[in-house]
Amino acid sequence: MAQKPGRNPLKRPKDERQGIALLDAVHLAMPQFPLGEEFEAELPGELADLFNEWRDRRPVRAGPAWGGR
């Protein structure tokens, strides 16, 4: 939405933050929905560059809280 030509320019930063927050949430808390090559291959062309930018700076997923010794 943030890059859509007819989009209100004042709403673009919010749209971008929401998109990044959604990708972060799925990546960090929903590992059953992998955001790997298969997901990327199904993205429409206009989203591929935005996804690649996110992928290059995505947050690191923490290991399990129960951890081993």
Burial status of residue 37 (CB atoms within 10 A of its CB: 0-12, 13-18, 19 or more): exposed
Domain coordinates in residue numbering, the chain: 12-57
The one-letter code for the residue type at 33 is F
pTM of whole model > 0.85?
A: no
Q: Residues near 59 by Cβ (< 8 Å), separated by ≥ 6? A: 24, 27, 28
pLDDT greater than 70 at residue 22: yes
Q: What is the pLDDT of residues 24-63, one digit of tens each?
A: 999 999 999 999 999 999 999 888 989 999 999 999 988 7
